[in-house]
Chain A
Amino acid sequence: MTLPRWLAPMLFLLAAAGATWRAPLPAAPAFVPPPAAQADRNPPSFAAALLPTAAPSAHAAALAELADGRIAAAWFAGSREGAADVAVWFATLGAGGWSQPQTIATREGTAAATRAYVRKVGNPVLYAEGSRLHLWFVSVALGGWAGSSLNHAVSSDAGATWSPATKLQTSPFFNISTLGRAPPVALADGGLGLPVYHEFIAKHGEWLRLAADGRIVDKVRMAQARRTLQPAVAVLDEQHALAALRDAGPGPGQIRAATSADGGGHWPAADALPLPNPNSSVALLRLHSGRLLIAGNAAGNRNQLLLWLSDDAGKNWRLARRVESDTDDLVEFSYPALLQGRDGRIHLAYTWRRQGIKHAVFSEAWLDGGPP
């Protein structure tokens, strides 16, 4: 059967018209600027406790503040990292302390929702947007974490129930090697900027621009001279932001930096921060006071967890507090997550000896309270 010659070009024109209609034309990128700096009036305070145990091995906590003021945490836990029984767990901190953890993403559930085989899950990211709570997490079908794909689910009831996970299309190569670690930031158009990273062959940070409906409308590479991972972003104003990145070597590292001066449209490399980084994840937070706070490890190993402050938008840094320290190099206090609640209290969650997730809550006055 021979098709009429006009049919193929006609179908092409129809399809091209449809594609043109769907292609996004977003406004120039801009951040939602942070509120004007306000001094924190909470008295010096510090308290820390382990979250209820979900499984023998736990790692990679994420934090969010729910609409009702409760603090939510998500992390992955199982018999060991990468095991088939690893799931993403979720708990909330209310007046009565931490709730019993519940699973919110498993490999079986993710495989059923995405119609794709999943071997393991990991690295949750939480973000509260009004009454909606976003969860991003990675899933792997083959190989190590470099084979990760990014999944997204939403809860409209503060984490009690979740939408089926959808897999984001973020890579042309078998849709692998996009991982998340740090929370997104709000964009002026109602969308989100989600810092992610790539670690298959090359290792670098990336920036996913999401429209208000969740659709990816741009992807920007955070190119660096060294291998970097796990960007964490703090917005400074409508156009400027700082990203702090894990230094993936080779050799001893410093916290790497990238800056954006155009609302996340570009992320050129900046001078490394004068802070050590033993190839480990860092958390970055702009405090209500306008100062920047980083949580990360000391040089060498992950057996010390430190807090650094900057009073000048990241130009200069000083050690504020040593949260954890152990003489054993194999002990690990790592993968911090930072959040400042609406009440001004600062929350820190981190991997504690790979056995659990520890949560610390403190005031800004405590950070200033003396030598570490």
Chain B
Amino acid sequence: MNPSAIYGWLAHAIVFGALVSLLPLGAKRRHVGLAAVPLALLTGIATLLHGFAGPPSATLLALAVWQLAGRAPSPLNDRPAWLVIGFAVVFYPLALGLGPFDPYAIGYQPWPLLLGSGALAAALWWYRRNDWLLILALALAGYAGGLFANLWDALVDPLLVLAAVTVAIRQLARRAPAGGKAAG
């Protein structure tokens, strides 16, 4: 069995555990989330998720581990979430066939992406976002280790976009009542 298959299977179990730990289960929710990881492996949930969604990105895996470790707040807060959404709005339609240019192909010979990640790393270091700098390092390490054939797959995936959309919706929902009071 190849390492990519094992990675996708294990990573989905961790993502599932992180999702469970988000349920309103009180003080025990992190422990329930941790218990959900082997459960996902044993019951076939991870296999099912891996079949439906393909391998999760290293970014999503890092956020899931962050969640399961009980570290708060998540690095995927408002601004990064909107950046992910903005990227996805452009990237996925082009990659799925809108027009002749396929940005996904760049990830197979990812020299421009590596240059871009260097610039991004410098900005993250400047703004003291060590959390995202570590996540970026993990994604590059996943690519370097052969877990991903395409660097884009190490960086982003549709489930990460879904998580970002959830964060953005929650942000908008928080702002809505505040706006109502100001208007009144």
Contacts and interface: CB of A to CB of B under 8 A. Distances in A.
A binds B: yes
Majority secondary structure, B binding face: helix
Interface stretch (A196-204, A237-245, A249-257): A196-204
Given A9-B125, A20-B114, 9 more contacts: A19-B143, A25-B111, A116-B9, A142-B51, A172-B104, A172-B157, A202-B97, A216-B108, A220-B102
A106 to B, nearest CB: 15
Contacts of A16: 114, 117-118, 121, 137, 140
A28 interface: no
B9 A218 contact: no
B144 A19 contact: yes
A172 B143 contact: no
A247 to B, nearest CB: 16
A8 interface: yes
Contact of A169 (B4, B6, B110, B125): B4
B140 A19 contact: yes
Kindly name the residue among A21, A24, A219, A220 whose own CB sees the greatest number of chain B CB atoms within 10 A: A219
A179 to B, nearest CB: 14
A117 B96 contact: no
Contacts of B110: 19, 23
B91 A172 contact: yes
Contacts of A141: 51-52
- Give me the 7 closest cross-chain CB pairs, A-B, nearest first: A202-B97, A117-B51, A18-B144, A175-B54, A141-B51, A115-B9, A15-B140
Interface string B152-168: 11001110000000000
B149 interface: yes
Interface string A40-71: 00000000000000000000000000000000
A149 interface: yes
A167 B5 contact: yes
A217 B153 contact: no
Contacts of B2: 164, 166
B133 A8 contact: yes
A115 B8 contact: yes
Contact of B52 (A142, A200, A216, A218): A142
A23 B111 contact: yes
Interface of B: 1-2, 4-6, 8-9, 44, 46-48, 50-55, 91-92, 95-102, 104-105, 107-111, 114, 117-118, 121, 125, 128, 130, 133-134, 136-141, 143-146, 148-153, 156-158
Kindly name the residue among B5, B121, B137, B158 whose own CB sees the greatest number of chain A CB atoms within 10 A: B137
Contact of B54 (A8, A20, A176, A221): A176
Interface in A142-175: 142, 149, 164, 166-169, 171-175
A215 B147 CA distance: 12
B113 to A, nearest CB: 9
B149 A169 contact: yes
A118 interface: yes
A174 B125 contact: no
A12 B121 contact: yes
A221 B130 contact: no
A131 interface: no
Contacts of A95: none
